[in-house]
Structure 1
């Protein structure tokens, strides 16, 4: 995306992640922040509500903002808004998560931005969509994506006191941000082919519904309120499921074509006699005797450690995976070989590891750069727009810029 310019008026994580992905793909992404407060995400780190790592690295600032330039503008001032519109004149994309009333009040809605650049692609990320009774409601992935979108209910035991929380910060945000980046790419392609700019919309609610869509489809077809849960020992295919090792770690098996993989698996496990055991000789027999089969597999998997099973199953023909921790994932040889984990040098000189977005072009992992400091590129961008230092200093004195 070299040569593509994105003006981002967004905060927190979900929509800014889209800007980070576009920056990773080569776009020039200019993040607009309030000159005094900045993105509220920075404030959480500054107040100690989000911990910082060595060298002052804030993971929740780096995640959605790596690779961008930051400009401090007060959009409530005449000068600040004029500067934003000036930036948009030659931009390709305007990206925001401001709600409808705020956009209208600040004069940054579609008609305002298109008035200075009719060809700009206007992109909105929201909690609940741009229409309907809740279009003005904010949203976070922990509630709108995970809770309202159905995921919490699907993964939680209905007998538990509380549903399960989402698996870590920004889980829904990064999925939504990547979706927006894909939508922007499609919009740029459409404009290239037709000359027509489009408005792109995404919401956390829509993204969650897409992620849980298979379950919702089944619920509508079969008339159930909640996905049925069964006893794991009643699984008709015993080599699809989780198995616990002697050191209380887990292996995930998904060997769907069980007749193809059964013999190889049990032979590697050290029990070749099970391959032709009449109780387990084919898929039908294993389904009929699933409880007995799973009980035996539980016993055998429980006799060796996680590390031992990883070595034993390394060349297994069927699909399986170790259940890893985030720390282990950072050392995963396969992830490292593919360049999924990249290093960034912070402004302090600290080098830290970060996960790249999951697309590569021309088999080349991206080179990532750190998130900008608050307003770090204000002067640089304004000079590019043709302002001189006297004009810039005057706007700083007025508080319109940082």
Structure 2
């Protein structure tokens, strides 16, 4: 992204899979020069992820890799070899941020822990993403968004109806990874501000577990205060036991509308007119907010019956002037063609692909995303910029230290 707020910031990423690389992808969207270090032979294992549920990707580009690695440059480097590690240190000397997903034991083994990197660049921001946080008895353990973010942090149990066996899975690949990666990118941006103001570099930590707790923060706070767990309603239950204007309604073509009007008395008359039931406006059963709450079951049945008479498209046209909040329930393919998504550039072109834009806009524009790099595609370019000669690069290639 030319002219982005992080233009001129250099990020050295030593990370794999979805979580931490998605933080690097956001930083690249914001204008940073992100150099991704990949295994000299195998690259990031995410490149080989082709099957996601029932969806399979053949050939390149691969959306499973592009999403988190937009706009970066790739260097193939064997950091287990002394020569490769020296190259990494040379790149760290000229970087502002060191970004890693490696577990503590691997960081120590490869010589890329905080003290190792700060020894060659005392002012570098050291940012690390973990599964379960940097402290405690499980700090050395790894994990994925399914385990640490989704299952352990409370979301899965909170949304799974009591009549469903097991747990509802995350709605899509890298769901918790992407949320957590955006948190990490924001933390790095704050650390850059601190560095600029005070000259003090930070160690930035974000974990999947911590991000999951934050995402469920309202519900977990309620549980801590009341001493009871948050439980989902049974399958098919209306969204609120005391508000007919909070819940899902099925249309004649099998689609759904989501109504979320937290002040039912304020919106009741408007909804009745929009569904061609003005007689309900003065119905004594629904004359006040208290009566609407008390007679929610009857109101829900009436609205279910009337909304089932028209298609989603017909209701969308009618509800264009509805004063209360509502939305069509859309699947992932329908989101791609949503007019409001297009108008706000929430999908952007990156090479051959359309990618979801990272969520922060500057000056009312989405950041322009670049395509993800080919494996080790910028190795020579980056090493030459770091001051290595062609002769030295050839030596490193011959030894296998670089791709």
Say whether the fold is shared (TM-score over 0.5). Answer: yes
- Report runs of 4+ in structure 1 exceeding 6 Å deviation: none
Q: SS at the partner of 1:300?
A: helix
In the other structure, the counterpart of 2:49 is 44
Alpha-carbon separation, structure 2, partners of 1:166 and 1:107: 35
Q: 1:320 to 1:76 in 2, by over 3 A?
A: same
Equivalences for residues 9-20 of structure 1 within 5 A: 9-20=14-25
Equivalences for residues 376-395 of structure 1 within 5 A: 376-395=377-396
Q: SS at the partner of 1:241?
A: strand
Alpha-carbon separation, structure 1, partners of 2:402 and 2:78: 6
Alpha-carbon separation, structure 2, partners of 1:61 and 1:290: 47
2:265 to 230, 236, 259: 259
Alpha-carbon separation, structure 2, partners of 1:365 and 1:108: 34
Q: SS at the partner of 1:232?
A: coil
The yes-or-no answer on 1:324 pairing with 2:330 is: yes
Q: Say if 2:240 and 2:247, in contact at 8 Å, map to a contact too.
A: no
Deviation string, structure 1 residues 199-238 (Cα, Å, up to 9, x no partner): 0001000000111111111112112134364752862111
Q: Say if 2:341 and 2:347, in contact at 8 Å, map to a contact too.
A: yes
Q: 1:228 to 1:2 in 2, by over 3 A?
A: closer
Q: Say if 1:37 and 1:43, in contact at 8 Å, map to a contact too.
A: no
In the other structure, the counterpart of 1:291 is 297
Deviation string, structure 1 residues 305-353 (Cα, Å, up to 9, x no partner): 11111111112110000001111111111110111111122xxxxx321
Equivalences for residues 70-219 of structure 1 within 5 A: 70-219=74-223
Q: 1:145 to 1:233 in 2, by over 3 A?
A: closer
Q: 1:103 to 1:234 in 2, by over 3 A?
A: closer
Q: SS at the partner of 1:236?
A: coil
Q: Say if 1:233 and 1:290, in contact at 8 Å, map to a contact too.
A: no
Equivalences for residues 370-381 of structure 1 within 5 A: 370-381=371-382
In the other structure, the counterpart of 2:3 is none
Deviation string, structure 1 residues 379-400 (Cα, Å, up to 9, x no partner): 0001101112111111101000
Deviation string, structure 1 residues 148-189 (Cα, Å, up to 9, x no partner): 111110000123211100101011000000000000011001
Alpha-carbon separation, structure 1, partners of 2:163 and 2:330: 27
Equivalences for residues 344-355 of structure 1 within 5 A: 344-345=350-351, 351-355=352-356
Q: What is the total number of aligned residue pairs between the two structures?
A: 395
Equivalences for residues 364-375 of structure 1 within 5 A: 364-375=365-376
Alpha-carbon separation, structure 2, partners of 1:303 and 1:50: 34
The yes-or-no answer on 1:35 pairing with 2:36 is: no
Runs of at least 5 residues in structure 1 that lack an aligned partner in the other structure: 346-350
Q: SS at the partner of 1:76?
A: coil
Q: 1:128 to 1:315 in 2, by over 3 A?
A: same
Q: 1:271 to 1:205 in 2, by over 3 A?
A: same
